[in-house]
């Protein structure tokens, strides 16, 4: 151990390495954000020629971290493509900050009125925390007019279905402590539970609003079956009673008859297509004979069913008459079209498509014709076939 009592003071040499700097090269300036991505909030704009200190770099090297004294944490993120950097080869790597949680219209204890002429849909939301990326499922609403913006309605939920009286929003819950078919009392924000298996999905309402039909592969053989349950809040496990109708998935309830339509096969797993059945599972009758036919949705008057199918090699929309089963093709585009929902007046069909290379909400006349984009869905939908669309009455 060295005794420093009489040691002379030592001046440390100043570093000869200049501070890292950057100059904005974009003619219109560049956005300064709270994180390395366009999904982060904008703090402000740095005009062309602005020079500032670079204190770090993003994990992928595509964003510089600049010193921004006025920012809440003293830094801002700028896309490296729009900055000429000097002396920034050895700046430290900054971890990616978590994305801010967007506010949801419905939350525990918060009521929400679903506006008329709005479309409900579910979509994925990607959350990144450092090197970890999470894919979350949420429910959105969008006005059924071109140029509309999605509004977040409920987190950790997918496959929305609003009750006929518009009082209860049912969905497939992705919340860890509420897995199964869940719901919200939209007037009070009370969270409801209608089933308790993680596999339970695709809820649809009875015409009276007193029951819910859904599909699940909860049983040991992992085959999809259809169930009906009363639409009451099931607080205790003993309250979770269901009527099993038989094999099938993607159920929908006829608007005026005790009839369910499903995607399915016969009891031997053959002759696949869409089937109708009574509420006790009896009277099972084949409706279409293509194994890819999926997601049937009745028209409000029961005269037809719209569905999605790969019967011509690509996901497109079709309509089938309930009187004679005649099928009409509604869309024919290289991009996938699917997840249909029929407007309350039966005149329009909403659906999800990746036309133009990005996902969006589209509509078309119920008889077929020109399609119209209603809104863009940000980001990707890696599990788009697990989503759903609802056009409430």
Q: Which fold has domain 118-390?
A: Neuraminidase (2.120.10)
**Average pLDDT in the 269-274 region?**
94
**Residue from 123, 166, 171 nearest 344 by CA:** 166
Express each pLDDT in 360-378 by its tens digit.
999 999 999 999 999 999 8
Q: Per-domain residue ranges for the chain?
A: 21-86, 118-390
pLDDT of residue 14: 34
Pairing relationship of beta strands 21-24 and 30-33 according to DSSP bridges: unpaired
Residue 51 has pLDDT above 70, yes or no: yes
Express each pLDDT in 180-206 by its tens digit.
999 999 888 888 999 989 999 999 999
* pTM: predicted TM-score of the whole model, two decimal places: 0.76
Q: How confident is the model at residue 8 (pLDDT cuts 50, 70, 90)?
A: very low
Q: Domain 21-86: what homologous superfamily?
A: SH3 Domains (2.30.30.40)
Q: What are 69's two structure tokens?
A: 């004294």
**Least confident stretch, 139-143, 216-220, 378-382:** 378-382
Percent pLDDT > 70 in the chain is 91
Express each pLDDT in 10-45 by its tens digit.
222 233 445 899 999 999 899 999 999 877 888 889
pLDDT of residue 102: 65
Pick 279 or 6 by higher pLDDT. Answer: 279
**Least confident stretch, 42-51, 120-129, 135-144, 322-331:** 120-129
pLDDT of residue 2: 33
Q: What are 302's two structure tokens?
A: 């029961």
Count of beta carbons in the 10 Å neighbourhood of residue 123:
23
3-class state of residue 80 by DSSP: helix
Q: How confident is the model at residue 127 (pLDDT cuts 50, 70, 90)?
A: low
pLDDT of residue 240: 83
Q: How confident is the model at residue 269 (pLDDT cuts 50, 70, 90)?
A: confident
Sign of the torsion formed by the C-alpha atoms of 23, 28, 34 and 38:
negative
Share the mean pLDDT of the chain.
89
DSSP readout, 275-335?
A: EEE-TTS-S-EEEE--TT-EEEEE-TTSSEEEEEE-TTSS-EEEEEETTT--EEE----SS
Report residue 227: phi and psi, to 5°.
Answer: -130, 155
Report residue 357: phi and psi, to 5°.
Answer: 90, -5
pLDDT of residue 131: 61
Pick 90 or 100 by higher pLDDT. Answer: 90
């Amino acid at each position: 151990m060295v005794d420093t009592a009489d040691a002379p003071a030592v001046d440390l040499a100043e570093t000869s390495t200049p501070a890292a700097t950057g100059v904005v090269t974009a003619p219109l300036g560049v956005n300064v954000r709270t994180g390395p991505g366009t999904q982060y909030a904008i703090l402000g704009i740095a005009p062309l020629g602005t020079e500032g200190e670079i204190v770090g770099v993003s994990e992928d090297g595509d964003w510089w971290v600049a010193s921004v004294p006025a920012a809440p944490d003293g830094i801002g993120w700028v896309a490296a493509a729009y900055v000429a950097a000097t002396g920034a080869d050895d700046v430290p790597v900054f971890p990616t900050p978590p994305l801010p949680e967007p506010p949801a219209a419905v939350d525990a204890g918060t009521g929400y009125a679903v506006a008329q002429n709005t479309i409900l849909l579910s979509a994925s939301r990607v959350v990144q925390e450092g090197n970890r990326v999470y894919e979350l499922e949420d429910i959105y609403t969008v006005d059924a007019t071109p140029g509309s913006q999605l509004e977040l309605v409920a987190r950790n939920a997918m496959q929305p279905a609003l009750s006929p009286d518009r009082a209860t929003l049912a969905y497939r819950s992705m919340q860890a402590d509420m897995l199964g078919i869940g719901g919200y009392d939209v007037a009070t924000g009370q969270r409801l539970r209608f089933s308790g298996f993680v596999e339970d999905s695709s809820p649809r309402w009875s015409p009276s609003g007193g029951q819910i039909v859904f599909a699940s592969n909860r049983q040991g053989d992992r085959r999809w079956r259809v169930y009906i349950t009363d639409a009451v809040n099931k607080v205790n496990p003993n309250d979770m009673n269901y009527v099993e109708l038989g094999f099938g998935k993607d159920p929908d309830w006829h608007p005026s008859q005790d009839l369910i339509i499903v995607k399915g096969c016969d009891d031997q797993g053959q002759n696949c297509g869409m089937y109708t059945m009574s509420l006790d599972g009896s009277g099972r009758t084949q409706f279409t004979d293509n194994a890819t036919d999926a997601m049937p949705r009745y028209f409000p008057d029961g005269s037809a069913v719209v569905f999605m199918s790969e019967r011509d090699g690509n996901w497109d929309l079709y309509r089938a008459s309930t009187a004679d089963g005649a099928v009409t093709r509604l869309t024919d585009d290289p991009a996938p079209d699917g997840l249909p929902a029929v407007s309350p007046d039966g005149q329009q069909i909403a659906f999800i498509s990746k036309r133009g290379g990005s996902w969006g909400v589209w509509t078309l006349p119920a008889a077929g014709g020109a399609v119209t984009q209603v809104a863009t869905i940000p980001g990707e939908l890696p599990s788009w076939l697990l989503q759903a669309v609802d056009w409430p009455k």
